[in-house]
Structure 1
Amino acid sequence: MSRLPVGHLDTETCKVLDIVHDSVVDGEGLRTVIFFAGCPHRCDGCHNPYSWNMDNGSDMTVDELFEETFNPLTNITFSGGEPFAQARQIKPLAKRLKASGRHIWIYSGYTLEQLRERNDPDEIELLASCDVLVDGPFILSERDLTLSFRGSRNQRIHFLT
């Protein structure tokens, strides 16, 4: 049985590399992680350089992503690539997941300050639907495997809600 509102159809598509269910390393608790394609940061030592190219992703509609990720027992993480590279496409999904009670983490190579300075309405709206932002580019010289939920010491965890 569909969980979508009657008559609702969202055909906006996102470029998705992968969806991982039941992750415990991409935010607190049990999470479903959506890895979005496309990343302008191209960090040296990136663990997923395949994510840099937007063409490496598969098209999925917001409705398909909602159906694939909706599980009342797990929360959601947006990762990449760079989720904010697709902010316009992702924000409706974030709003629907949030309205369904999901707790949302988002990883970005941008800092919180950069996102605010960019003042892109789609990025601000996406950020407003998220509970936690892990920000900053991966910096190989600051790599630290002892950190929870981060790859390098410069990255910060912001509890937004």
Structure 2
Amino acid sequence: MTTTVPIEDLPALEGSALGTSGWIEVTQSMIDQFADATHDYQWIHTDVERAKDGPFGGPIAHGYLTLSLLIPLWTDLLDVTGVRTKVNYGLEKVRFPAPVPAGARIRAVGSLSKVEQVAGGGVQLTGDVTVEIENADKPACVARPVFRFYP
């Protein structure tokens, strides 16, 4: 369920849990397209046959592909209205505790840990996000993304 809030009401959400996003399937096609975009063709991602005999029993998503999916996952958690520009400002921390197998579904569980005013009339949000893998014991990614929103 998406929380929709006008930019001026963001400070009231500081410290709030945002809930859980919907699922996204990480397909082999997505992995291959990411490899093409980043020129990262390591066989554990792109060679399906060889990866079957590899350490993960099949191909896995790039960690940075999983990280890039924070954008649609976060957007499913929080929609800020009354803004013209949304910027990925950075990351305070990122870890990849478990690989995402090709074909697996992931979702995010998130909270809004910090809300600050920034120059130019913007608002900076710091989130806490755990990307879960369906039916897995460990998460795929644990991150603290930082976003900026400008009216």
Q: TM above 0.5, one fold?
A: no
Q: What TM bracket, shorter-length normalisation?
A: under 0.3
Q: Identify the structure with the greater strand proportion.
A: 2
Considering Cα pairs closer than 8 Å and 6+ residues apart, tell me whether 1 or 2 has the greater RCO: 2
- Higher Cα Rg: structure 1 or 2? 2
